[in-house]
Structures are given as structure tokens and as C-alpha cells.
Amino acid sequence: MTERELRILLNDMSLEEKVGQMVQLPGQNYGSFAAVTGKAEKKEDGQPILDQAGSTLGIYGAEKLKKIQKAYMEKQPHHIPLMFMLDVIHGYETAFQCPLGMGASFDPELVKKCAEIAAKEAAAGGIHVTFSPMADLARDARWGRVMESTGEDPWLNGKMAAAMVEGFQGENRKQTGKVSSCVKHFAAYGAATAGLDYTNVELSEHTLREYYLKAYQEGIHAGCDMVMTSFNTWNGVPSTGNPWLMKEVLRKEMGFDGIVISDWGAVGEMVNHGFCEDRKEAAERALKAGVDIDMCSDCYADYLVDLVREGVIDEKEIDEAVYRILLLKNELGLFENPYKDADEQREKELFLCEGHRRTAREMVQKSAVLLKNEEDGKAGKLLPLNPAEKIAFIGPYIEGEDMRSSWVVTGSAKNSVSICQAAKEAFRDDQICFAKGCTLLDNDTLLNGSEYHSDSWEEDNDRLLCEAIQTAKQADVVVLCLGEQNHQSGEATSRTHLTLPKIQRTLLSEISKVNPRIVTVIFSGRPLELSEVETHSKAMLEVWMPGTEGGHGIMDLLTGVCSPSGKLTMSFPYTVGQEPMSYSQLTSGRPCPKGSKAPFLTRYLDCSTAPLYPFGYGLSYTDFSISEPTLDRTEMQAGETIVASVTVANGGKRTGCEVVQLYIQDVAASCVRPVKELKGFRRVELAPGEAQRVTFSISEEMLRFHRGDGSFGSEPGKFRLWIGNSSEDGEAREFFLY
């Protein structure tokens, strides 16, 4: 349709019909198979809103959605198509690595490719919009949703969010295999107080603007069609009812002109927050804050028509919202083809096809982070595994546990490649042996909406432990596969402790007594407390929630088919007491020199202020060296650049990939600045003996920030830069901006 035709359609719609477009109903209202990602209430059959709602979420599948669309459009007064939305967070049928892992690849191009594949599969399944990327800055591992983020650095998160938007939407989302994307959760959900979901965020406006808004801005610059409001309040005002945040900042300053959708139930939850007297006031405040679609709270459905009739809301505001919704449906081509890409044959061709699996496997290879790989006697380091040795694969993650994150609403764990399966493909039967070792969870573990309990838990674990000890004794080396259960991270999974389940720590300790040559593979959707694992392991590989090709990708790394190259995008603490933490923190008036015991300095009495493993850290199977940086000049003005160079060399015996990172510090400014900030990175693949010059151009634009007077720009003065293999590596160099 032309925009003129859209305007004519809008003008021909009744007020009830217009409001209907602003209502999103849970998929249960259209199909019992719907995935539930919130408190879902099903409407009574026959209720007019069922034929008026403009969109739904949680249902998927070409055949089913085509039937639903056909039936819906026959009843919809102007035959306006329904928009189908879904959380395609890291893949559809082919589940990729979770986003916190994808970020660790430091490979935006690969992240984009994963999003492209996810879009193709989802579009074939009838989906029009994905609620991704999540661009929240995540610095508190107590918050389970760090799993859906790409970590603690705003600039890297922006790169990854833009890559996902481009992957999902392409140049034109009307094209086959493209879906609309939705940047979320606006704003600053990752700063949730005490790491708790649905609560409050206390940030200064400066901190909000300088750190927390950056990645959303990159997603908007990349052209995302939607932005989702966050559950939290910011300084006491719910995002969903905050006109300053949604209109002044998001639309005027950040230039977003697409659809604003609330999070699930967030409009109605403003009553629980104590911001609205009742749901009618919630509808009014959300509309006036600029929320176009009410996801599943029914406040718009129940009250918007009355609010307009009572003169509380101007129908023009309704028209603006509805026009944006009709425009997106038009940009998706739904008026011409309401089924878009829904196609059972394409589903069969695309789902889990060889090429998609290959990309999923590559992402596992590049996102896993080698945390430790100790010398192990004459044979060198423990990893990669020595094929001449007998290997015991032990632990609850060797088979039967879902390696996909809790944000998979489609697909099946049975399509995943387990560690067992991959080991049997990689080794002869006489080289390997297996034991489960223990249950994944301690008994009576609370999960999101369920609780794990087994009446035979104690005797089962006694038996499993005995079997594991016997298995470990007969092997030369043990690969211990431990971790969080996949529903221990994600939404509503806040935790006050970050250790592995006690039963797993017992297994690790008992195995180490009979066979100390342990490689521990850690599955998690967040940073965990790994000091105990570090003590008992000669090698450690963090694999996050690796998805459908987890077994293959991990085995490729364990056997040396490829070398690990992932780098942490969140700091791993010694203890949860250090949370929230970030490499890019501000310093203090009394910084404590490393190892100093002098009094009256910034420190903990019982723990380091540093992380166990820092942002940007990750080892390789080969030995990289990075020279001290050289600068082509040490002074610059606006419009000029400084070129910083290093030589990266592979002095080891294996091909590997190093992620060379550039960090910059603004030494003194009108607002205190972080001790360092990531400003560039390069993945450099080198064969043994190879060396490569890596250069970074530093511009004045890179030095801009929200200054003390609230303006945005750079300030003259001294800067430092580091180029290294982590946020704790590299020799500082100084330069000046005049």
C-alpha cells in the first residue's frame, strides 16, 4: 500500500478498531501450542478484541500461522493482517550460542550471520518480528538476564546490537528471510538494583546517558523497527510511563521513529509499582509516554476508547500510534502477502540444515573462552587432548541436559549434539569412557516457576559418584562437564550466590583426589564464582549455553581441531560480594596499588577488588606476543588522528586467533572518566611463526563523552592508551588532544 492508502485506511477505521491495533494478546488466544513468556490470560471466546488485536506473540509454525491469519483476517473489519512476534533470541530451530557467549566471539560479522540464519528460519515459520537484540548493559552477574546481553562494555554491546539488527532485517525486511527487530529493554534494565528483575534502577542522568543508552542508540542507528520498554523504574519512574525517556530521549534525541512496545504486562504493572492508582490510569500514562503497543496487560483494550471519549486522550495520539503500526505491517509487505514467508517446504529445507549447523558450530568454537591451560609434565599443556591417552568424560552435561539457553521458545534439545555423541565421533570406543557423576542440580532447587526435586536424589548421587570415581581411575585425563542448569539464567533467575551446585563441587573435589588431570568445561549463562574449579582443574573452558551444536564445537576445541579464541565480555568475580563489577569502573580518591597493605585506601579487607578473570581475557593453544604500541604522533587536534600500531606474533606451534584490544583513558575531565574503555578490537589469525602489524586510528570523535556541563564532546588534555590481549594487558602510552 502507498502511504496515502494507509492514511485513507486509518481514517476509515473506528476508534475501537484503531485501539485494537495497539493491543497485543498472548498467543494462547490463537493457538494452544503457544510459548508462554509471561503471565498469560486467555480471552473468553467471541470477545471482539480477539478479532481486533493488531498482533500476538508466542505462536509459530508456517501451517498453523497461515490458518490463524486466514481466519483472523476474515473477521477483522478492514482485513488488516495480524503481526506475529516471537523471542528469537539466539536462533529458531537451530539454536545458537547464547548472546553473552556470542559477544565473547568478538566477531560482529559472525553474530550478524547467526541473526541472518535465525531470521530465515523464523520467517519460514511465519514470524514477522523478533524481540531481539537485548542491548542492556550488564555488570551484575546476580541478574540472570546477563545471559541475554553481550556484556559489560557499552561500545562492544553497540557493535553487537547493530550486527543483530542488520542480520535480522537486512536492507529490506519485506524480502524473503527477513524479520523486524526490536531493541530492548529501554532503558537501563541491566542496572536493576541488587540484580533483581522487575524492580528499580537508580542511575544519575549522566550515567544513564554515558554508559547505559549507548548500545540502544547503535541498534536504532542500525534501523531497528521496534523498541521495547523495560520493566524497571528509573529513579522512581517506570520506563513504560516515562514521557521524558520515551519521547524526549528515545524519539527526539536518539531519533527513533518506529514502534514502542511495552514489555509483557508492563503497562498494568505500573499499578504494582505504585505509579498508577489503577489500570485505567496506567493506560493513560503509557499512551502519553508514547507506548504504541500494550503487550498482554489489556489496559489499552479495556480503557483507551473510554479515555478518548472522555477527552482525557486526544484521538490524534491514537492515530499516530496506529499509523506506525500500519506502516510496519506495510513495510513487512503484509497487506500484499499476510503470510509473508510462512512456508512449510522452506521450513523443511532450512531448519537445522547443514549450513546452519556449521555456522552454529563455528560460533561455539569462537565464543568459548579458555580460562586456564596449565603445563602438564613432559607432554606440555593438558589441552588440546592427547589422542594417545584414555579420556573420561564425566559430569551431568555430558548428555541429556539442554545446552540451549532458557530463551529457546522453539526447537528441541533432541536436535542438539551432546558431548557424548561428539566424543564418540572424535575418538575410538577404547579411548573414551563416560560417567554422569551427579545430578545437575542440588535437590529442591528453585527455578523460574518450578522446583527441582527427586525423592531418590541422595542414593542416585551416591551411586553416580562411585561410578564416576571408578571411571576417573581408569582414565589418563578427565573432562569434567559442569555448570548452571539452563533455567538458572535468563528472566526471573536472580541469584545471591554464583557457585556451581554443591553436588557438582563435591564431584569435582572427589574426582580430583583420584585423577588430578582434570579439564573442566563450564556451561553457564553468567559469570560464576570459579575459584574452587580453578583450584582443582588443570584446564578450564567456559562454553556458556552453546546451543544445538554445543557438543561438536566443544569437541573441536578439546581435540585441537581449532584453538580457543573467545574473550570474556563480563568480569568473572572471586565472589558475588564484588558485584556489580566492570573493568571500566571509575577509580577513587585513594586507589590501592596492587598488593599494598597501607591503611585508608579503596579495598576490601577480605577480597581483591580485581576479578578472578577480567573483561577481554581468554587464552589460546598457541603463544601470542603483542609488541608495545608505537604512535605516529603524540599530539592531535579535532579532525586529526593518531595511528597506534603493534606487531602481533605467533610464537607457538599452532595456528590461532588473537583478539587484539585497544583501550583508552581520559586522564582528567569535567566528569570523572573510567580507568579505561574499549575503543577497538581486531581478530588476528596467525599460523606458527607468522607476525602481523595491527593499527588503530584514534580520532577526536572517539574521545567524546557527556561532559560536566551536560554537553557532549571531547575535552583537551592527556590520554592514555593500551593495546593488549585483555583489559589488564599492555603498556600504557600517552597522547594529548589540543
d(CA 642, CA 402): 48
Q: In the range 192-251, which residues lie near ligand GLC by CB under 6 A?
A: none
677 binds ligand GLC (CB under 6 A): no
Residue 101 CB, shortest distance to ligand GLC, in Å, is 18
Number of residues that bind ligand GLC (CB under 6 A): 9
Q: Does 294 bind ligand GLC (CB under 6 A)?
A: no
Helix (H) or strand (E) holding 26: strand 23-26
| Sheet bearing 200-201, strands edge to edge | 200-201, 233-234, 237-238
Task: Select 56 or 504, whichever has its Cβ closest to ligand GLC.
Answer: 56
* Nearest residue (CB) to ligand GLC, 270 versus 530: 270
Query: Min. distance of Cβ 90 from ligand GLC in angstroms?
Result: 13
Distance (Å, whole) CA 551 – CA 11: 56
Give min distance, CB of 231 to ligand GLC, in A. Answer: 6
37 binds ligand GLC (CB under 6 A): yes
Residue carrying the nine cell digits 523497527: 225
* Residue recorded with cell 569434567: 480
Residues 100-129 that bind ligand GLC (CB under 6 A): none
What gap in Å lies between CA 543 and CA 37, rounded to an integer?
25
Q: How far is the CB of 212 from ligand GLC (least distance, A)?
A: 17
Restricting to residues 463-522, name those near ligand GLC by CB under 6 A: 491
| From 56, 82, 87, 139, residue interacting with ligand GLC (rule: CB under 6 A) | 87
Q: Which is nearer to ligand GLC, 185 or 538 (CB)?
A: 185
- Cα Rg, the chain, nearest whole Å: 26
Q: Shortest gap between Cβ of 672 and ligand GLC (angstroms)?
A: 33
Question: Would you state the cell numbers that stand for residue 136, as one nine-digit string?
Answer: 542492556
Angle between helix 108-124 and helix 154-169 axes, rounded to 10 deg = 40
**Of the candidate residues 121, 140, 263, 542, the single one contacting ligand GLC (CB under 6 A):** 263
* Residue type at position 430: D
> Which of 619, 627, 629 lies closest to 652 in space, CA to CA?
619
Of the residues 264, 275, 613, 735, which one makes contact with ligand GLC according to CB under 6 A: 264
263 catalytic per annotation: yes
Burial of residue 570, with CB atoms counted within 10 A of its CB: 0-12 exposed, 13-18 middle, 19 or more buried: buried
* 641-650 and 630-631 strand pairing: antiparallel
CB-nearer residue toward ligand GLC: 189 or 621: 189
Cβ proximity to ligand GLC, 57 vs 498, nearer residue: 57
Cβ atoms of residues 619 and 564 within 8 Å: yes
The DSSP secondary structure of 155-188, one letter per residue, reads: HHHHHHHHHHHHHHH-S-TTSTT--EEEEEEETT
Q: Answer whether 164's CB lies under 8 Å from 105's CB.
A: no
- At closest approach, how far in Å is the CB of 186 from ligand GLC? 11
Q: Could you tell me the three cell numbers for 320? A: 499516530
Cβ 630 to ligand GLC shortest distance, Å: 45
Question: Measured from the CB atom, is 256 or 264 closer to ligand GLC?
Answer: 264
Which of 1, 7, 31, 38 contacts ligand GLC by CB under 6 A?
38
Pairwise CA distance, residues 399 & 402, whole Å: 9
Under 8 Å CB-to-CB from 116, ≥6 apart: which residues?
167, 168, 170, 177
Residues in contact with 513: Cβ distance below 8 Å, sequence separation at least 6, in sequence order = none
Decide whether 134 or 660 has the Cβ nearer to ligand GLC. 134
Nearer to ligand GLC, 239 or 471 (CB): 239
Residue with Cβ nearer ligand GLC (38 or 717) = 38
User: At residue 170, what is the residue type?
Assistant: G
Tell me whether strands 237-238 and 233-234 are parallel, antiparallel or unpaired: antiparallel
What's the rounded Cα separation, in Å, for the pair 563 and 377? 21
Q: Is residue 617 near ligand GLC by the rule CB under 6 A?
A: no
Catalytic residue among 263, 294, 341, 343: 263
Q: Do residues 689 and 656 touch, judged by C-beta distance below 8 A? A: no
Q: Locate 717 and state its grid cell.
A: 588534555
Q: Is the peptide bond before 99 cis (omega within 30 degrees of 0)?
A: no
Q: Does 184 bind ligand GLC (CB under 6 A)?
A: yes
Q: Which of 60, 131, 300, 663 binds ligand GLC (CB under 6 A)?
A: 131
Name the minimum Å distance from CB 457 to ligand GLC. Answer: 31
Residues 51-80 binding ligand GLC (CB under 6 A) are 57
CB of 492 to ligand GLC, least distance (A): 8
Give the interface with ligand GLC as residue ranges (CB under 6 A): 37-38, 57, 87, 131, 184, 263-264, 491
Q: Which residues are catalytic?
A: 263
